[in-house]
Amino acid sequence: MAEIVKRKTSRGEARYDVRVWIDGRGIMKTFQRRKEAEAWAADAETRRYSGLLVDPAGGRITVSQLAELWLASNPGKRESTVARDRAAIDRHILEAIGGRRIGSVRQPDIQQLVNRWSELMAPKTVGRTYGTLRAMFAYAVSTDLLARSPCRRINLPTGARRPPRALTQDQVAAIASHMDERFRLMVWLAAMLGLRWGEVAGMRMGSVDLPGRMVTIDGAVVRDRHGRSVLGPPKTQAGIRTLSLPEALAKELGAHLEALGPAGGHPEALLFSPAGRSPMSYSNFRQRIWIPAVESAGLSGTNFHDLRRTNASIMVAAGVDVKTAQHRLGHTDVRLTLELYAQVSSAADRSAAEVLGASFSGVFGHDTRDGTAITPNGRSARRGRRAVTCQKGVGLGGFEPPTSASRTQRANQTALQPDAGRADRRASLPEVPVAFGGR
């Protein structure tokens, strides 16, 4: 319960001190008028019961201090993720608001910061940087440093996203043929096994079982806290898996191992590394090896990850059960296998169109009312106006206008002639020609 105490200053003026307790610590605020003190005390009590009243001292730490607390709050975070977050904080967040107290940062400040980033960075980079900043302030709210995050209702830039791409077998072969022969097998491992780049680059001699035509994926090339390429675990626990090798791929892999010679004899030796045991950098691989190969193959803009999407799409199109595809791709959630990677091929789309067309082949193009062939737009196959007849007093389609008199007349006729058919009753009415297609 908030406590209000009246006191006198040295000048004899009245002051009202309001004290509220939060987690055993008292917070006091002074007012000149008792009405203001009572209003603040009531509001403080409401916020305290709803969990929105926090210690004002928490808002006095700087954004820079908050960043360090947030980075240290999750010891289970992958080092590569920590490195990415650290880069976003150091390069974009701290230079803008690092010295400000977190309690002074308001929603308009965040929006202005995002607008400034949008002028300098790509929309995807802005989204990642803002995601880091939003996570920092969410941590401040969860630890009662702030009552409310300023990262709310922020408008982010939108850009044209490249649609996920699945390659054809010929396109995969074209890329492989233009690759440096030392790294050509990486293309086939990604396309035929569905491996991520880090998993391919992290393959070791001890991971390959040529007699059994098996390969074990238990490591990957990742970045440490300092951005250096190191060997680490796969992306998720489901990424640790053992896969069967197609016979043709096993032969190519055996030839690659022979080409390595003595340098590849150690079980920990990497299959794709100029130095044998030193992991390669993805940025160097992409700039020096991958981009020249895809441009030479006429497939500019293709990413290495598209090989993995190609693998998933081929398995789904070939009828491989989803659980097996999930295992081979190393996905934790089977929905990711279907929604993110399984792209519809043009051949599968044409096949679906033929199946649908065949299902309607017996009825498409025929008017079931009089046997007249019709076109897809619903008109008669004959050109010009189509004259059909309609009986006087009868609307289109043979239905009378919905008047009470016509309904009564039909009811009386039905009662007097219960066996008379509709055709007999309509035959006595004169025919009036009606033209379709006129203006």
Tokens describing residue 348: 């599968």
- Please report the pLDDT score of residue 42 as a whole number: 81
Give the 3-state secondary structure of 163-187: CCCCCCHHHHHHHHHCCCCCCHHHH
| Rounded distance between C-alpha atoms, residue 312 and residue 315, angstroms | 5
Is residue 282 within a helix (H) or strand (E), and if so which, with residue range? helix 282-285
Is residue 124 within a helix (H) or strand (E), and if so which, with residue range? helix 123-142
The SS3 call for residue 385 is: coil
Contact 205, 258 (CB under 8 A): no
Average pLDDT over residues 370-381: 53
Residue 337 reports pLDDT greater than 90:
no
Q: Where are the beta strands (DSSP E) in 108-259?
A: 208-209, 214-217, 220-223, 229-232, 241-244
| Rounded distance between C-alpha atoms, residue 380 and residue 363, angstroms | 15
Provide Rg for the chain, Cα atoms.
Answer: 37
Per-residue pLDDT of 193-252, as tens digits, reads 999 999 999 999 999 999 999 999 999 998 887 778 888 888 888 999 999 999 999 999
Compute the CA torsion angle 350, 354, 359, 364 (nearest 10 deg). 110
CATH homologous superfamily of 63-142 equals: Tyrosine recombinase, N-terminal domain (1.10.150.130)
| Rounded distance between C-alpha atoms, residue 80 and residue 143, angstroms | 25
pTM of the model: 0.64
| Rounded distance between C-alpha atoms, residue 388 and residue 69, angstroms | 82
Average pLDDT over residues 325-332: 91
Average pLDDT over residues 288-303: 95
Which range is least confidently modeled, 18-32, 300-314, 397-411, 418-432?
418-432
- Please report the pLDDT score of residue 53 as a whole number: 54
- Please report the pLDDT score of residue 353 as a whole number: 81
| Per-residue confidence band for 387, with pLDDT thresholds at 50, 70 and 90 | very low
Per-residue pLDDT of 94-146, as tens digits, reads 999 999 999 899 999 999 999 999 999 999 999 999 999 999 999 998 887 88
Average pLDDT over residues 83-93: 93
- Please report the pLDDT score of residue 393 as a whole number: 43
Look at the block and give the residue holding tokens 């004002």.
Answer: 56
Per-residue pLDDT of 142-175, as tens digits, reads 887 888 899 999 999 987 667 778 899 999 999 9
- Indicate the fold that domain 169-341 takes in CATH: hpI Integrase; Chain A (1.10.443)
Contact 332, 185 (CB under 8 A): no
Residues 6+ apart with CB under 8 A from 356: none
For 354-375, b where at least 16 C-beta lie within 10 A, e where not — what string?
eeeeeeeeeeeeeeeeeeeeee
Q: How many CB atoms lie within 10 A of CB 339?
A: 9
For residue 33, how many C-alpha atoms fall within 13 Å in the half-sphere facing its CB?
Answer: 3
